[in-house]
Amino acid sequence: MSATQAHPKGLYLLFATEMWERFSYYGNRALLALFMISALSFDKHFTSALYGQYTGLVFLTPLIGGYIADRYWGNQRSILVGGLLMAAGQFSLFFASTFYTNLTLALPFFYSGLGLICLGNGFFKPNISTMVGQLYAPNDARKDAAYTIFYMGINLGSFCAPLICGTLGDTGNPADFRWGFLAAGVGMLLSLVIFQAFKNKYLLSPEGQILGLPPKQLSALEKSKVDTSLSTIDIQRMIVIGVLAFFVVFFWSAFEQAGVSLTFFARESTDRVIYGFEVPASWFQSLNPVFVLIFAPIMARLWMSLSAKGKEPSSPTKMAWGLILLGLGYVVIAFGVDGIDAGMKVSILWLVSMYWLHTMGELCLSPIGLSLVNKLAPARFASLLMAVWFLANAAANWFAGILAGFYPESGKPFPSFLGWQVSNLHDFFMLFVAMSFLAGGLLLFASKPLQKMMHGIR
C-alpha cells in the first residue's frame, strides 16, 4: 500500500481503544453464564433468559448514547463517560463474585454491575464506531477496509479476553470468578487511558480538524432548516439501513449462542481433554476472534481487489452470504451430534469447524454492515443511525436468550418451538440451520432492489 493509500493514524488509535474495551466486554461474557450457574446457582433456563435480556440491553442503550452525542456531547465525551460506567460495572461484578456465598449482598452488586455495563456501552459503542468513518472523506474507497481493520481490533481483544479472564475466573472454584471480572475492569480503564492520551493528536478529519467535539449549537432558524433538508435519496438509504437491520437480527440471534448454549455444549458435550489438559469451556469463545484475526486481512484484500476490478459484490449480497455461511456452521455441528447417545461427548473438531464457518459469515456481514451504515446515514444522524443498527443487535441478543432456552436438558420436558419438537441437540441446532438459510436466501433475493435504493453506494 503506497503512502497516499495508507490509513490515517487515528484508525489505529480507535483500534487500540476498541481492543481493550472489547477485552473488557468479552472477558465478562466468557464468565457470565458460568458464574450465574456455578456461583449464583441459577438454572439454565433463567440464565439463558437473563443473559439475553442483558446483552439485548447492551445494544439497546446506544439509542440514548447516539442521540446525546449527536445533539449535545459529541463522540469524545460520550466515549469517556461510557467507558467509566462500564469499568464501574465490571468492578461491581468483582464485588458480586467476592460475596457470592451471601446472595443478599451479592445480587445487588450483580444486577447493578450489569446495569452499569448496559448504560456505559450505550455511550461508548455507537460513537467509537462512527468515528472510524469520520476519519475518511465521504466517498473514500478505503472505508470497507478500514472497518475490517477496526474489526480486527475488536477481535484481538475478544481473543485475549476468554484466555486471560477465563484462566483467572473459570477454575472450577466459584470464588475465582472475581479475578476474571477484575481483569475485565482493568482492561476497560486501559482503553480509556489510551483514548484520552492521544485523541486530540490523531483523531482528525481529512481536513485536519479534531473529531468528536460537541456539535455546534444552532439557532432555532438553523435547526428548522436542518430538520427539513432530508432528500428522497437520504430517506431511501435510511430505509435500506432498516431493512438490513431486520436481517441482521437473525444472524446475531444464532451467532450469539456462543455465550450461552454453545458454552453449555462446550462444557457438557465436548471432549475438551488435549494431551491430558482439560481446556476450560470459556476458552472456546476465543476461537471466533482468532479466526477473525487470521482471515480479516485476507477478506479486506479480497474486497479491495474485487473493487479494483469492478467485480465487488454489493453490501447486501455480502451480508446474505454471511447468513448462509452461518447456517452451514450449524449444519456441521448438527451433523456432529446426530445420533449420539445422551451423555456422550463429541470431538473438539466439530466445534472448531463450526466456529470457523461462523467467523467467515461474520466477516461477510458485520464489518460490512458497520461501514454501510456510515456511508448511507445522513451526516447529522450518523451516531443515531449507528445506534439504530445496534438496536437490531439488541433484538437479536434478546431473541438469542429465548432460543437458548430451548437447549435440551436431561430430566426436563422437551421444549417445542413453533411446532418443532426439540428432543435432542441435533433438533436444537437444526433450528438455527433453518432460520439462517431462510433469512440468507430472502436477503439474496432482495439484494438488487436494495442496491438501487442505495443510489451508487455499494
If one counts the domains in the chain, the total is 1
How far out from the chain centre does Cα 442 lie? Answer: 23
For range 59-74, the mean pLDDT = 82
Burial of 318 (0-12, 13-18, 19+ CB in 10 A): buried
Average pLDDT taken over every residue of the chain? 85
Quick one: pLDDT band at residue 2, thresholds 50, 70, 90?
Answer: very low
**111: in domain:** yes
For the record, the C-alpha cell of 197 comes out as 492520551
Mean pLDDT on 71-100:
92
Q: Is residue 339 part of a domain?
A: yes
The model's confidence at residue 314, banded by pLDDT at 50, 70 and 90, is confident
Average pLDDT over residues 5-11: 84
Instruction: Using the predicted structure, report yes or no on whether residue 217 has a pLDDT greater than 70.
Output: no
pLDDT of 3: 40
26 domain residue, yes or no = yes
Shortest CA distance to 245 belongs to which of 421, 388, 144, 378?
388
* 431 vs 423: which has the higher pLDDT: 431
Other C-beta atoms lying within 10 Å of the C-beta of residue 40: 19
E strand or H helix at 278, and its extent? strand 277-278
**DSSP assignment of 336-400:** HHTTPPTT--B-HHHHHHHHHHHHHHHHHHHHHHHHHHHHHS-GGGHHHHHHHHHHHHHHHHHHH
pLDDT value, residue 228: 55
pLDDT one-digit tens code per residue, 249-299? 999 999 989 888 888 888 888 888 888 888 888 888 888 888 988 888 888
Structural domain contains residue 216: no
CB burial readout 224-233, b (16+ within 10 A) else e: eeeeeeeeee
DSSP 72: I
What is the rounded CA–CA span in Å between residue 321 and residue 304?
18
CATH number at residue 275: 1.20.1250.20
Phi, psi dihedral angles at 407 (to 5 degrees) = -60, 125
- Each as own residue / partner, the long-range contacts of residues 228-233 (CB below 8 Å, 24 or more positions apart, any chain) are 230/378, 233/455
Position 333 scores a pLDDT of: 92
**Could you give the CA distance from residue 239 to residue 141 in angstroms, rounded to a whole number?**
23
C-alpha cell at 288: 471466533
Q: Give the single-character DSSP code of 420.
A: E
* Pairwise CA distance, residues 298 & 279, whole Å: 29
- Whether the pLDDT of residue 313 is over 90: the answer is no
Q: Is the pTM of this model over 0.95?
A: no
Amino acid of residue 243: V
Say if 290 falls within a structural domain: yes
How many residues make up the chain in this entry?
458
Whether 353 is in a domain gets the answer: yes
Extract the C-alpha cell encoding 75: 463522540
221 within a domain of the structure (yes/no): no
Q: Is 85 a member of any domain?
A: yes
pLDDT digits (tens, 9 = 90+) for 324-382: 999 999 999 999 888 777 677 888 999 999 999 999 999 888 878 877 887 887 776 77
Contact 390, 62 (CB under 8 A): yes
Of 119-123, 139-143, 317-321, 365-369, the range with the lowest mean pLDDT is 139-143
**Which structural domain, as residue segments, surrounds residue 160?**
7-199+230-453
Among 158-162, 334-338, 413-417, whose mean pLDDT is lowest? 413-417
Q: In the structure grid, which three cell numbers stand for residue 302, read together?
A: 479480497
Amino acid identity for residue 356 in this structure: W
